Amino acid sequence: MQAQKQLMTAILAAFGQDGDINLHEYPIHISYHTTLRLEGEVANIIAKRKARRIAMQLSGLMIIEDRLRLRPGERRNGKALQDALVDALSQEPAFRDIAVRAGHTAPDGADQWIGIDVDGCVACLDGQVGSLSHRRLAEVIAWWVPGSCNVQNHLRVRPAEQDNDDEISDAIRMVLEKDAMLHAENITIHTRERQVTLEGLVHGPEQRRMAVYDCWYVPGVHAVRDRLQVLSQ
Per-domain boundaries in the chain: 2-70, 78-157, 165-230
Quote the pLDDT of residue 179.
92
Residue range 155-170: mean pLDDT, rounded: 95
Nearest to 53 by CA among 45, 225, 151, 138: 45
* CA Rg value for the chain: 18
pLDDT > 90 fraction of the chain, expressed in percent and rounded = 83
Least confident of 12-16, 30-34, 118-122, 141-145: 30-34
Quote the pLDDT of residue 158.
93
**232 versus 49: which is more confidently predicted?**
49
Quote the pLDDT of residue 231.
83
Quote the pLDDT of residue 195.
98
Quote the pLDDT of residue 233.
58
Mean pLDDT across the chain, nearest whole number?
94
Residue range 189-208: mean pLDDT, rounded: 95
Residue range 107-131: mean pLDDT, rounded: 93
**Segment 195-198 long-range contacts (CB within 8 Å, at least 24 positions apart):** 195/221, 195/222, 195/223, 195/224, 195/225, 196/168, 196/169, 196/172, 196/221, 196/223, 196/224, 196/225, 197/224, 197/225, 197/227, 198/224, 198/225, 198/226, 198/227, 198/228
Burial class (CB in 10 A: 0-12, 13-18, 19+), 34: exposed
**Which residues, 6 or more positions from 45, have their beta carbon under 8 angstroms from its beta carbon?**
70, 143, 213, 216, 217
Nearest to 69 by CA among 50, 52, 87, 44: 44
Pairing between strand 187-192 and 150-153?
A: unpaired
**Which residues, 6 or more positions from 202, have their beta carbon under 8 angstroms from its beta carbon?**
182, 183, 186, 187, 208, 211, 228, 229, 230, 231
| CATH T-level topology, domain 165-230 | Histidine-containing Protein; Chain: A; (3.30.1340)
Quote the pLDDT of residue 33.
81
CA–CA gap between residue 66 and residue 48 (Å, rounded):
9
pLDDT at 111 over 80: yes
Neighbours of 205 (CB within 10 A): 10
Neighbours of 146 (CB within 10 A): 12
Residue range 183-205: mean pLDDT, rounded: 94
pLDDT > 70 fraction of the chain, expressed in percent and rounded = 99
Helix (H, G, I), strand (E, B) or coil at 87: helix
Instruction: Note the pLDDT tens digit of each residue in 38-92.
Output: 999 999 999 999 999 999 999 998 889 999 999 877 788 789 999 999 999 999 9
pLDDT at 19 over 80: yes
**212 DSSP β-pair partners:** none
Which segments of 33-112 are extended strands (E)?
36-42, 65-70, 99-102
